[in-house]
Structure 1
C-alpha cells in the first residue's frame, strides 16, 4: 500500500488534472471510477473526463432526497455529453426499516440518527460502487473543510482498499468557477443562491457570504461533526 501510494504520488507529481486523470485511466483500465454529486467541482471533473473521452466510469449516489435542481444538472449533463452516469440507490429493505421505525426525518433528532441515514443512503451504496476498483476520483478541495486540509491530493483509503485521487485538491473556488465559466459548463443554480455545498435537500441550506463553506450542511450539529463519512480519514 505505502509503496503504491509513494510511487503513484511521484508519477503524477508534475501532471495537471487532465494529465493525471489520463494517467490513471491508462494505467488502471476498467478500475478507475469518479463519484459526482453534480456540484461545481464535480462538473469540472466530469467535463475533463467526458470531453476527452477518458475511459473512467462516472457514478452518483441517488439518496432519494436530492434537490430538484440537482436532478436538472444531472439530466442536462447526460444530454450534453451523451455519456452514462451510473446511479447507486440505497438498499430498499434497510431504508424502509429506518423510515418505518423512526420516520422520514429522524436525522434531525440526533447525530447517531443522522449518521444512520447517511450510512443507508450514501455509505453502503458507495461501497457497492467502489467494489473491485483501484482508483477513486473525487471532487475534494483542501479549503472545503478543516479536516480536509490535512489530506493530500493522493491518498490510501483503508476502508475501501484503494487509492483516492483529488484532481482539484489545490484549486481555489475562484479557479473552479473560472473553469466553469470559460467552458460554459452546466452547474447547479443553487450555487448562485448561497449554496456552496449541496447535498440532500433536508440537510442543506443557503449560507451568507464569508461563512464557512460547509456551514449549510447539517447546520443543527456541532461544526466538528459535519462529515457524512464518505471522506473521513483516520
Structure 2
C-alpha cells in the first residue's frame, strides 16, 4: 500500500462512519478489488455477513478455518449455507504434520492442561491457517461486535492489523445481539442450531459450552481458564497502539 496505515485507518473511519453493513462491505470491496476477504465460523454474526455478501454478489472471498474439531451442528450450518446461496466457501485446514506431532507428543486434549497448551493448539489449528488465508490480502472482514466482551469494546470498526499487515473491518461492530436475531429471522438466514441451546460464541467442540443467563458472552469459551479475556489468537495478535487514537493529555 502506498500510504501509511495511520492515514488509511483515519480516512476509512471517516468515510465509513454511520454507513450500513452492506455499504461498508461494498465500499471496501470496491476500493480493494480482489483483495478483500471474509472469515466465517458460521456463528450468527458471520451468517449475516455471508448473507450480505452472497445476496448482493459482492466480490469478497468467503473462507473458513476448519480446525477438525468443530461441532457437527457447525458443519450442518456450513452445508445449509452452501445450499441456500450456491456460492463457494473456501476451507483452510491445519498443517497436518503439526497436528500429528501435537497429538503424538501431548495427546488429543492437551489444551485442558494449561493455557500454554491451549494456545499451542489454537496456534496450530487456527492462527497458522489464518496466516495462509490472509496472505496477500488487503482487507479482512470479521463478525466482531463491541458487546461480545470487554476487550472488544476497546476495538474500532476499522483497524490496522499489524500482525497481518492489512486493514480489518467489523461491519456489525455496533449491532446488538437482538439486532442480529431480528435480521436473521427477517431474511431467513441459516443459523447454527447451537444458538438456540445457549451457545452465543461457537468454536471448537471441546472448547465451547453454552452460557448461563447473565454470563459474559465469552464465558462459554475455554471456561476452565480463570481469565476475563479469552481469545484464541485470531483477534488479539499484536496490533500495536491504535494508529489514530486521540492523544492522552498529561495529568
Structure 1 partner of 2:97: 93
Structure 1 partner of 2:26: 22
RMSD: 0.8
Deviation at 1:8, TM superposition (A): 1.4
Deviation at 1:14, TM superposition (A): 3.1
1:1-234 alignment runs, 5 A limit: 1-232=5-236, 233-234=239-240
Note the alpha carbon deviations across 1:21-71, whole angstroms, 9 max, x for none.
Answer: 100111111000000000000000000000000000000000000000000
**Normalised TM-score (structure 2):** 0.92
Report if aligned partners of 2:69, 2:205 keep a CA contact under 8 Å in 1: yes
Deviation at 1:209, TM superposition (A): 1.7
Deviation at 1:223, TM superposition (A): 2.3
Deviation at 1:225, TM superposition (A): 4.5
Deviation at 1:80, TM superposition (A): 0.6
Structure 2 SS opposite 1:60 = strand
> Structure 1 stretches of 5 or more lacking a match?
none
Distance 1:145 1:182 in 2: 26
Distance 1:200 1:40 in 2: 15
Report if aligned partners of 2:145, 2:173 keep a CA contact under 8 Å in 1: yes
Distance 1:24 1:123 in 2: 24
Distance 1:115 1:160 in 2: 18
Report if aligned partners of 2:73, 2:193 keep a CA contact under 8 Å in 1: yes
> Structure 2 stretches of 5 or more lacking a match?
241-251
Distance 1:146 1:59 in 2: 27
What is the aligned length? 234
Structure 1 SS opposite 2:220 = coil
